Structure 1
Amino acid sequence: MNQPAQPVASTIEILRKLVSFDTTSRHPNAPLIEWIGDYLKAHGVPFTLSRGPEDGKWNLHAILGTQGAGGLAFSGHVDCVPVDGQNWSSDPFTLREQDGKLYGRGAADMKGFVAAMLAAIPRWRRQRLDKPVHLLITFDEEITCNGARYLMDDIIGRGLRPELCVVGEPTMMTPVIAHKGRLALRVNIVGRAAHSSHPEQGANAVHAMGRAIAIVADEAERFAREGLRVDGFSPPYTTMQAGLASGGAILNIVPEKASFDVEWRCVPGDKASQELARLQHFFEPFDEALRQHGPECGFFYEPLVDLPPLALSQDHPLTELVRQVTGSNQAGFVSYGTEAGIYQQAGMASIVCGPGDIAQAHKPDEWIATSQLERCDDFLQEMVRRICVLS
């Protein structure tokens, strides 16, 4: 049984506690959320929980100051990627400090930012807040980002939507104002089994998959050759690929089933839904050929991830403010996705800025520099001072 959380002010101490919870996305995050809830209660901070359809997975929304809409939100997810098969030099769920680095799963992505959010609370509580400070903590960012969707449905339903949002993914404390969207789905193909000596009696699902994957490769080349260019991204165009693929059971049986995963990472301006419709149009002849063997045959589409892009203007006041507070000369673009696109779509002007390096995320011996956490501590305090504190 977890011990009750105690009021602590150190970002590193809180990070040590957060890392100790195995919140790999396949596990519930409820024990960690309960600990955070106890911490908030100890500091007199009201909060609400919301959940999705899966037991044991919770979002948390806390508000400091006026309990209302507007103001500034800081957002972080607390799920992390697995450590299975990775060669860690120490226990990934025990924070280890060495040479100015803090090692542990989720230290960079992104429990370090969440720890800094929580550590800032005692100081914020002593300030006179003219506008609310919202803390958003979500689940399942690493797999679907649906936690953020459920959270925004809850917040908007209660009339508590913040005006501005900082998502603390690891950017080395430099502002990111745009990222690509991501659409991923699984294409399940059903044919008809037969003995390989009589292939005319079956419908080969693997062959259909091969033809479909060839079209995916052609489409990927089309994007690279003539797709919409958006300067700032690397690469500056929409990308797509077929990833996981499987099918068949044994060589002397015409395979009845096959499946493959396909994803798009779209620059702002390209619509993933339109690209999906285009791909399905190309697949129609293969689909129709299989359906001649029965209504149970054909191509079937299973959505996996639908993450909108982020596009905040260079001239937006939030962009300029984060530049000033971080001392950055410019705001960047990245090709990976975050929850910021969901928040922007829900009506919050959103930017990505947080401690640590994305290059360290998801790897064995994931780490974050203590100097990055110190910069984050200062950043959070200054953002609140400039936006939410009475002058």
Structure 2
Amino acid sequence: MIDSKKLAQEAEKERNNCAQFLRDMCSIPGTSNKEGPVIERIKKEMKKVGFDEIKIDKYGNVLGRIGNGKHVIAIDSHIDTVGVGDPKEWKWDPFKGKYENGIIWARGSSDQRGGMAAMVYAGKLIKKLGLQADCTIWMVGAICEEDSDGIAWLYLLREKVIKPEIVIVTEPTNLAIYRGHRGRMEIKVKITGKSCHASAPERGINPVYRAVPFIKEIEKLNANLKGDKFLGKGTIAVTKIKEDGPSQCAVPSSVEIHLDRRLEATATKASAIAEVSACLKRAGIKDGKVWVPVYKEPSWRGTVYPMENYYPGWCLSPDHSLVKISEEAYKSVFSKKPIVSRWVFSTNGTAITGLCGVPAIGFGPGEENNAHSATEHMPVEHLVKAMQFYAAFPTAYSNANGLKQADKKYSAAKKK
């Protein structure tokens, strides 16, 4: 039984420490594959608050362990960020940020280092109050999520760095419990032409002009994609067009179009590729090439771990035992029922659950809709509340003796 009053009091004592840790992390730039300095800062804080074991794996993720119980659970936060974009859009230094009226404004505050700060200080509460129950708790600072959703967890799980029964994803949920999101994939399309001097374009075949009706077909496809009431509608968008030609004064020889496809519940990699191929056919292009690119950039530790840019969606049933345990953990701390919903964007859950079948749930501080923006911010009150949930979860999980047998391996066929 959790003493929720005592837990709240102890979390309040860590308010300033947790906020300062988040500010320290946000002051360290760390886009994908450049996370080394912030990883070291997290390792230092884990050591300071008394984690039982701390390690950095060969890919570059930082992992901290508390407890040595029967049930292995993990809590995830990706700690890379996107860049700052146009500095003129920011009203303050995106790294120094500002802290006023109980809110931290900085790049990475919400997406996604706030989750990291809250989980580390939840670790301190777990140690201080003896809340590890019969659990081994791994807290993971995952890298490279912004470039390739879930690649860090694909490494962790397929290389058997850890073997958790479940994972809590701490991407921002506004302190609600999230049980899934749409999938995502990247698709490239190459349309060829015939290069020639631009002073006489009639001598060649301009692939950009050939691409125009195809792009219009993609726009029509987006309008017609279906979805479901919970996860939402599928989408597809042209996000980049790159021409290949010898100079600015030449008709290019080919054009490469990059598509971002958000996958509705019924979509698969094969169906998404087929839809794009059909768009080429309707545009009268018989020689177009369609493929899914592979991410193979070296991590900050120099490790290359190729991953196809296909990130399947996932969705736990509202009756899944992990959802029910999470609801019980929430009620034990806050004495009310949680909101249960889903993300619009995608998370490391694409690999954790979508590819590897480990059930995951979402609970994080901050709001999804300010991620990647020049007004990104984190209410410190969210950090305090998230600390309490993460600290209470192992007890709720142990009390339930883990997941029901039927829920231990995720299957897309079970999602509702």
Q: TM-score range by the shorter chain?
A: 0.7 to 0.9
- 2:382 equivalent to 1:372: yes
Q: Which one of the candidate residues 143, 149, 168 is aligned to 2:147? A: 143
Q: Which one of the candidate residues 319, 323, 329 is aligned to 1:319? A: 323
CA deviation profile, 1:194-245 (whole Å, cap 9, x unmatched): 235655642321122213212212322331xxx3x41124xx3211122222
- Farther-moved stretch of structure 1 (321-330 vs 98-107): 321-330
- 2:293 equivalent to 1:303: yes
Q: Which one of the candidate residues 6, 10, 21 is aligned to 2:28? A: 21
CA deviation profile, 1:168-187 (whole Å, cap 9, x unmatched): 11111001112100111232
The 5 Å alignment of 1:1-391 reads 10-25=17-32, 28-42=34-48, 43-52=50-59, 58-66=60-68, 70-86=71-87, 87-126=89-128, 127=130, 129-145=133-149, 146-154=151-159, 157-158=160-161, 160-196=162-198, 199=201, 201-223=203-225, 227=226, 229-233=227-231, 236-247=232-243, 253-283=250-280, 299=289, 301=291, 303=293, 305-326=309-330, 327-344=336-353, 345-388=355-398
Q: How big is the shift at 1:352?
A: 1.2
CA distance in 1, matches of 2:285, 2:233: 32
Q: What secondary structure does 1:170 align onto?
A: coil
CA deviation profile, 1:40-71 (whole Å, cap 9, x unmatched): 3452522332344xxxxx11233221277x43
Q: How big is the shift at 1:286?
A: 7.6
CA distance in 2, matches of 1:179, 1:44: 32
CA distance in 2, matches of 1:365, 1:239: 25
The change in CA–CA distance for 1:333 and 1:139 in structure 2 (over 3 A counts) is same
Asked whether the 8 Å contact 2:193–2:253 carries over to 1, the reply is: yes
Asked whether the 8 Å contact 2:31–2:83 carries over to 1, the reply is: yes
The change in CA–CA distance for 1:267 and 1:274 in structure 2 (over 3 A counts) is same
Task: Calculate the TM-score normalised by the size of structure 1.
Answer: 0.83
Q: How big is the shift at 1:120?
A: 2.2
CA distance in 1, matches of 2:175, 2:98: 22
Asked whether the 8 Å contact 2:325–2:400 carries over to 1, the reply is: no
The change in CA–CA distance for 1:337 and 1:50 in structure 2 (over 3 A counts) is same
CA distance in 1, matches of 2:337, 2:172: 15
Asked whether the 8 Å contact 2:117–2:383 carries over to 1, the reply is: no
CA distance in 1, matches of 2:117, 2:272: 39
CA deviation profile, 1:261-313 (whole Å, cap 9, x unmatched): 112111222213322133225436989765xxxxxxx5364526321102111
Gaps of 5+ in 2: 1-12, 295-308, 331-335, 402-416
Task: Calculate the TM-score normalised by the size of structure 2.
Answer: 0.78
Q: How big is the shift at 1:107?
A: 0.8
- Farther-moved stretch of structure 1 (13-22 vs 281-290): 281-290
What is the alpha-carbon root mean square deviation over aligned residues? 2.9
Q: What secondary structure does 2:293 align onto?
A: strand
CA distance in 2, matches of 1:77, 1:275: 27
Asked whether the 8 Å contact 1:243–1:261 carries over to 2, the reply is: yes
Q: What secondary structure does 1:218 align onto?
A: helix
The change in CA–CA distance for 1:149 and 1:287 in structure 2 (over 3 A counts) is farther
CA distance in 1, matches of 2:140, 2:240: 33
Asked whether the 8 Å contact 1:265–1:335 carries over to 2, the reply is: no
Give me the identity figure in percent. Answer: 22
Asked whether the 8 Å contact 2:329–2:396 carries over to 1, the reply is: no
CA distance in 2, matches of 1:357, 1:246: 34
Q: What secondary structure does 1:11 align onto?
A: helix
Asked whether the 8 Å contact 1:246–1:258 carries over to 2, the reply is: yes
The change in CA–CA distance for 1:51 and 1:328 in structure 2 (over 3 A counts) is farther
